[in-house]
């Protein structure tokens, strides 16, 4: 039987710290959340591998390093209300739930949304809510958000997500003209009408499907 605690600590040290992730809250959260609980049984022995894994419905659980980089880029302090688009199996939402006050995570595939909700409930993360909906529209019912993270590649930045940010809030999203190749960007809302955009590097995500994303 795999020693998941040791594998988790090694993942944090070798895949995150050595690559420059420094946010202590992110490192502590990823050292706490059992990634093996968020992958299919057939891939559990690969839960801490340095890469993505399939989770069904044509989706993947992201590489641990990418999860850490995206959450670190949100510059969280612990009191935030965060929206995640693309819950998948619920892993990144669980990490966020260890760090911030409230997490709302949207998943368009009902089977994945239901599975994520079960896993999060089993871990006792009652500050994380899973919604089955079109994530490109955001979730105005709980807006505005201090931070928004999108775990799928968009052709353009959905306007609804920018509109649902607080002033000073950060949006981290992969954007690109191809369905599987993107650039990770961070958008900070400076005022009601002003936004600052920064490039964080090249990434590869499954496409963001929805009204303001790619067609099915």
The pLDDT tens digits for 104-124 are 999 999 999 999 999 999 999
Distance of CA 147 to the CA centre of its chain: 11
- Tell me how far apart the terminal alpha carbons of the chain are, to the nearest angstrom: 40
pLDDT at 1 over 80: no
In sequence order, the β-bridge partners of residue 130 are 105
* Structure confidence at residue 178 (pLDDT): 87
pLDDT of residue 216 exceeding 90, the answer is no
What does DSSP say about strands 102-107 and 128-132: parallel, antiparallel, or unpaired?
Answer: parallel
Give the up-direction half-sphere exposure of residue 153: CA atoms within 13 A in the CB hemisphere: 19
User: Does residue 82 register a pLDDT over 90?
Assistant: yes
Residues 141-192 have pLDDT tens digits of 999 999 999 999 999 999 999 999 999 999 999 999 988 899 999 999 999 9
The mean pLDDT value for 60-88 works out to 97
User: How many other C-beta atoms are found inside a 10 Å radius of the C-beta of residue 58?
Assistant: 10
Residue range 4-203 forms a domain whose CATH class is: alpha beta
> Residue 66 has which token pair?
């990418």
Of the listed 6, 25, 62, 191, which one is catalytic? 62
Read off the pTM: 0.96
Instruction: Read off the pLDDT band of 2 (50, 70, 90).
Output: confident
Our answer to whether residue 62 is catalytic in this structure is yes
DSSP, collapsed to helix, strand or coil, labels residue 144 as coil
Question: Which tokens sit at 165?
Answer: 């940010």
Q: Region 12-29: what's the mean pLDDT? A: 98
Distance CA 191, CA 183 (A): 24
Predicted pLDDT at 107: 98
Domain ranges of the chain: 4-203
């Amino acid at each position: 039987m795999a020693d998941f605690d040791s594998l988790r600590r090694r993942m944090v040290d070798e895949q995150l710290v050595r690559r420059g992730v420094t946010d202590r809250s992110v490192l502590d959260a990823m050292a706490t959340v059992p990634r093996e609980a968020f992958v299919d049984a057939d891939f559990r022995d690969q839960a801490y591998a340095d890469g993505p894994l399939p989770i069904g419905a044509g989706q993947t659980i992201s590489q641990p390093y990418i999860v850490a980089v995206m959450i670190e880029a949100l510059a969280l302090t612990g009191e935030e209300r965060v929206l995640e688009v693309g819950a998948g199996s619920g892993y990144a939402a669980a990490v966020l739930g260890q760090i911030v006050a409230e997490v709302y995570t949207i998943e368009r595939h009902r089977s994945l949304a239901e599975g994520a909700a079960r896993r999060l409930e089993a871990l006792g993360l009652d500050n994380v809510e899973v919604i089955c909906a079109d994530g490109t529209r955001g979730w105005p019912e709980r807006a505005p958000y201090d931070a928004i993270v999108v775990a799928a590649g968009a052709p353009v930045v959905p306007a609804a997500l920018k509109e649902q940010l607080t002033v000073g809030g950060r949006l981290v999203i992969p954007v690109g003209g191809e369905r599987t190749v993107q650039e990770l960007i961070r958008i900070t809302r400076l005022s009601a009408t002003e936004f600052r955009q920064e490039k964080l590097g090249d990434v590869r995500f499954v496409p963001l499907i929805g009204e303001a994303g790619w067609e099915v």
